[in-house]
Amino acid sequence: MGEIKEYVGSCHCGNVRYKVSLDLSVPGTACNCSICGRSGTVLSFVPATAFKLDKGEDVLTDYQFNTKTIHHLFCKICGVRSFGRGKGQDGSEMVAINTRCLEGVDPFTLPQTQFDGRSR
């Protein structure tokens, strides 16, 4: 395992900004479901306590589909999905971080695992 560090994330226009503590040596999830496949997100999941939204609650729009268990949040100004909210398999609150939206992080250097969300 690597090291948990604090990162700053944001949408494209900067109206949504947050801090998150996570270990980027843990592979992110590249999912092929209908929304992740189209948006190209690579997600890292953290407990809600490791996430702090600094700015932008008022510009977030919530999109839900299928089982409506994940809140796919995006900035209503620029359209970027920098994070989402939901519950982990154990029922605890979690946040799905789009690692492509973390400042100072090269997403091409991060380990990834593939998840077949299309078949679920």
Domain definitions of the chain by residue range: 5-119
Give the model's pLDDT for residue 46: 96
Average pLDDT, the chain: 91
CA pair distance 21, 83, nearest whole angstrom: 13
Give the model's pLDDT for residue 119: 81
Q: pLDDT at residue 43 above 80?
A: yes
Give the model's pLDDT for residue 1: 66
Residue-wise pLDDT for 96-112, tens only, equals 999 999 999 998 898 88
CA pair distance 103, 83, nearest whole angstrom: 13
Q: pLDDT at residue 23 above 90?
A: yes
As given in the structure block, the two tokens for residue 23 are 């270990």
Q: pLDDT at residue 22 above 90?
A: yes
- Rounded to 5 degrees, φ, ψ at 86 are -175, -160
Q: What is the mean pLDDT of residues 39-53?
A: 94
Task: Name the burial class of residue 98, with classes exposed (0-12), middle (13-18) and buried (19+) by CB atoms within 10 angstroms of its CB.
Answer: buried
Q: Which CATH class is domain 5-119?
A: mainly beta
Contacts of residue 71, Cβ cutoff 8 Å, sequence gap at least 6: 62, 63, 64, 84, 85, 86
Closest CA to 93 of 70, 68, 114, 73: 70
Eight-class DSSP state of 16: S
Q: pLDDT at residue 16 above 90?
A: yes
What is the pLDDT confidence band of residue 37, given thresholds at 50, 70 and 90?
A: confident
